[in-house]
Structure 1
Amino acid sequence: MTPDGLRTLFLFEALDRDKLEWLAERGRVEHRPAGSAVFAEGEPATCFFVMLRGAVALSRRLHGDDIEISRTDHRGVYAGAVQSYLGDRVEQVYQHSLRALVDTDFFVLPADEFATAVRTWFPMALHLLEGLFFGARASSVLLGERERLIALGSLSAGLTHELNNPAAAAVRATAALRERVAGMRHKLAMIADGRLDGSRLRALVELQDAAVERAAEAPQLAALAATDAEDGLADWLDEHGVQGAWDLSPTLVSGGIDARWLAAVGEAVGAENLEAAVRWIAYSVDTELLMGEIDDAVGRVSDLVGAARQYAQLDRAPQQTVDVHELLDATLVMLQAKVPPGVRLVKEYDRGLPRIPAFAAELNQVWTNLLDNALGAMDGSGTLTVRTRGDGRHLLVEVGDTGHGIPPEVRPRIFEPFFTTKPVGEGTGLGLDISYRIVVNRHRGDIRVESRPGDTRFVVCLPLTGPEEEGPEEEGPDEGAADRVASAKGGQ
């Protein structure tokens, strides 16, 4: 590699002739065929690589899976031993794996030579970089842990609150059921003490079975209609000498029992046994209704646990083909306790959208951050809108709120790490930065924001095809700077 050739790379374009010659003498050009590994994560970081032509993909190993972080064909991007100037203060191994997507050429500089160049040529920059690296790493670790703990605590509190309601309902219904069963045993003794002959007892049992079936299929009456039905049935019971009619009629009406049906009970058991039979039937109906309540409560608990499993994705592959609506619904369930009574939730889903390949657990983190920010912006009242749509090549997820909006002077900085408009101690400024990295770097998508007072919308744009199905990303003429930033963040 000649000094003039090195000057065409953005990393070296400002160096003087002597430094370029020094690099040319110590570096070399290496070729990697398409599909081959340039270096692997965990190996000793022996070289610094600058791409001359071709395309590469950067990945990391996570729980046994290779997770692609970025891919590019931008000339001059670099990776490898970018932290060799820190010496033995950090472990000098490759933090990522780099793979050539097509036939690719690199300018390769040994790690110790690269470290010597940085220390000798840029002593002031070296101190600044050291301070930035160690300071940012410490801050990122502390704030990242705090962000995750706060999110975990919030979601756990919400989930336990949601679980408590059906669990408490099941406990109450179980206690009431125990009382009803005890009453049924008492009435059974009264009915079966010999006052009823075999045929009447059999008829009563058949009526009991019919009452249970009616209770299981009974329609839900409107409040006024239910009151009228209870009043009419109570009058009938009073006329036939049944004590406590006002206590019995609500249960019987809830089970679909009317006066005509009770008249059939009287004919079957005789007028002298009507009250005991009616109470026996009421206990049966009430027992069936209570078992229905328990079944509904346990079903709600099961649904909440299912939503938590869908949200966490702990028992599933990191990358899978997912229905985005299932992920959104799971996240909304997890955040339900944080939705104030004054906030109206509107879901506008295009159910015709296809399933897409994605990292489900990470997308759930994006939805959590966007929904939490939207709820915080509305100060307890407004409309939260979650909308999905497609444009032919992408699936779009929109989270909108009617809050105070994002000021124009703040909008360009909202995706910067550690930038937050929340009061001190309430925000870390990492939520949108993490969301941006997940959407853009991990899913090859985009995240946009439109905001004015009363109408703020974050739009997440996800490709319908997975990262592994796409070629190198094409860049526009003004994307070089962004690519350099991405390379610097993903280096080594």
Structure 2
Amino acid sequence: MSGRVLPCSPREIGSLFLFEELSDEQLGRLCAAGRVMGFEPGPVYAEGEPATCFYVLIEGAVALSRRVGGDDVEVVRSAQRGVYGGAVQAYLGDRVRQVYNNSMRVTEPTRFFVLPADTFADIMREWFPMAVHLLEGLFFGSKSTQAAIGQRERLLALGSLSAGLTHELNNPAAAAVRATAALRERVAKMRHKLAVIAEGPFSRDQLAHLIEIQERTAERVAKAHSLSPLETADREDAVTDWLEEHGVAGAWQAAPVFVQAGLDVDWLEQVAAAVDEEILPGAVGWLSYTVETELLMDEIADSTTRVSGLVAAAKQYSQLDRAPYQVADVHELLDSTLLMLSGKTGPRIEVVKKYDRTLPRVPAYPAELNQVWTNLIDNAVAAIGYAGGEGTLTVRTAREGDRLLVEFRDTGPGVPPEIRDRIFDPFFTTKPVGRGTGLGLDISWRIVVNKHHGTIRLESVPGDTRFQVLLPLTAPDGDGTAPDTTSAPAPSPVPEEPA
């Protein structure tokens, strides 16, 4: 919106607190370099546009807003003479992207003193060189500090995830090693038993029939299904009795193996019908090695599949081989994060997934969304820990208008009302000293709001705390890309007044 140019009075400009210490000569230069502009109610500038002017309120009222998702959220409203906004960081030059960080509108006829950004920068450097150096140091020092601590936050999360992943990988890997050693022993015994059978009184037809039974046994093991504890106990008793009745040594050891493989008395009867009674114990012993071998191979297959699944989840979580920005399945991201954090949730926290699988894929930075999920799950686990360590974490997805909702709900003690307005502030944390940096939710806010043009919000009562992330279903600019603005600051009350 363009305003009308009005006369500039050095005396009036000098009455504003920003300029009250300036000399008459300096005030005259300001009036010559700048201008007074009048605006009717309506917009003055929009967030994201090139920051071309520095505005100081002379009279009237202004309202500033930030874009959150598809909405403009008012962050401050002021009628205080001298408040300022616009190109407030022009003195930093090209080292910072010079765009308006908010949108300004006036709510009544309003006058501003307006300086072009370049002129404002030149005057700052000429009149206040020490102040400019101090401000530059504060600005870049703050960014460096925040970046360093943000990196530490990511490293802490990575260390925790690595520890959890190592624990999760160790179990199936150790199982595979144990099963491999046992398999080698069983195969050696099977070779010995086969030699004994070959030297025994087996006819050619009996051996052929026994081998056929062995093949059918292997197929049956592959199709075995789990039994209830009561069914398992009853079948083991029946198999043990049968083996003892037919003179098979070590019946009580062989019975659980047969039952685990899905074999029963009917199967044993088929074996008995295939061989003579005097060689039945040897045939059953040989088949027991077959069963054990199949079970061990199944255990190795399950373990290595588990390892492969964990590696795939780690790969999905890290997004190492993926484009930074892509159309992603939120459920895949959530699953990989939950798997990576399974060591943290442990057996005492029940994880419930309530996914709406009909939701479409969304344009996103998947690796950074995984960081958001990690922070929110970590907070939920910590909250449940404060409540005794047992509880439920519910992860829900749904459609809310033109946005996708991801909700993390925990049964912890809740967020006290007096700190809810501060939880997204940098360095604010309720965790014990050394347990948190206070940047997890701040980083999450920046990723969701600044980078994905989404919304993150909190609803909390004791026993029911919900962090809700809302993501646009389509790219904000319609061309499949999103601007990288993670470093943009969270909303702050601008224009500002000196303390």
Q: TM-score range by the shorter chain?
A: 0.7 to 0.9
Alignment match, 1:464: 473
* Number of residue pairs matched by the alignment: 422
Tell whether the 8 Å contact from 1:311 to 1:327 is kept in structure 2 after alignment. yes
Q: How far is the alpha carbon of 1:312 from its aligned partner?
A: 0.7
The answer to whether the Cα contact below 8 Å between 1:378 and 1:401 also exists between their aligned partners in 2 is: yes
- The structural deviation recorded for 1:51 is 9.5
Which residue of structure 2 lines up, in the alignment, with residue 283 of structure 1? 289
Matched with 2:487 is none
Match of 2:431 in 1: 422
Unaligned runs of 5+ in 2: 9-13, 20-26, 36-48, 56-68, 75-83, 101-113, 481-489
Q: Partner of 2:477: helix, strand, or coil?
A: helix
**1:404 aligns with one of 413, 431, 434:** 413
Distance 1:259 1:287, change over 3 A: same
1:198 aligns with 2:204: yes
Shift of 1:165: 0.9
Query: Which whole-Å CA distance do the structure 1 matches of 2:380 and 2:350 have between them?
Result: 12
Give the counterpart of 2:31 among 21, 33, 37.
21
Matched-pair contact (CA < 8 Å) for 1:70–1:442: no
CA distance in 2, matches of 1:230, 1:118: 89
Partners of 1:81 and 1:94 within 8 A in 2:
no
- 1:244-259 aligned at under 5 Å gives the runs 244-259=250-265
Offset, 1:452: 2.0
1:52-451 correspondence runs (5 A) = 77-78=86-87, 82-84=91-93, 93-96=94-97, 109-110=117-118, 114-122=120-128, 125-126=131-132, 129-193=135-199, 195-379=201-385, 380-451=389-460
Q: After superposition, give the CA deviation of every residue in 1:129-177 in whole Å (9 maximum; x if it has no partner).
A: 2452254134224312321211110010011111111111111111111
Asked whether the 8 Å contact 1:70–1:441 carries over to 2, the reply is: no
Q: Secondary structure at the match of 1:230?
A: helix
Q: Which amino acid aligns with 1:158?
A: G
Partner Cα distance (1:23, 1:70) in 2: 38
Where 2:358 maps in the other structure, the secondary structure is coil
TM-score calculated relative to the size of structure 1: 0.77
User: What letter matches 1:23 in structure 2?
Assistant: A
Cα–Cα, structure 1 residues 293 and 372, in superposed 2: closer, same or farther, change >3 Å? same
1:275 offset after TM fit, Å?
Answer: 0.9
One-letter amino acid of the structure 2 residue matched with residue 172 of structure 1:
R
Give the SS at the match of 1:415: coil
**3-state SS, counterpart of residue 370 of structure 2:** helix
Corresponding residue of 1:60? none
Q: Which runs of 5+ in 1 are unaligned?
A: 26-37, 40-47, 53-68, 85-92, 100-105, 472-480, 488-492
The Cα offsets for residues 202-235 of structure 1, whole Å up to 9 and x where unpaired, read as: 1110010011111111221111111111111111
Q: Give me the whole-angstrom Cα distance separating, in 1, the residues matched to 2:305 and 2:476.
A: 38
Quickly say closer, same or farther: Cα 1:408–1:201, change in 2 above 3 A. same
CA 177–51 in structure 1, closer or farther in 2 if over 3 Å, else same = farther
Contact 1:399 1:457 in 2 (8 A): yes
Paired with 1:239 and 1:188, the residues of 2 have a C-alpha distance of 24
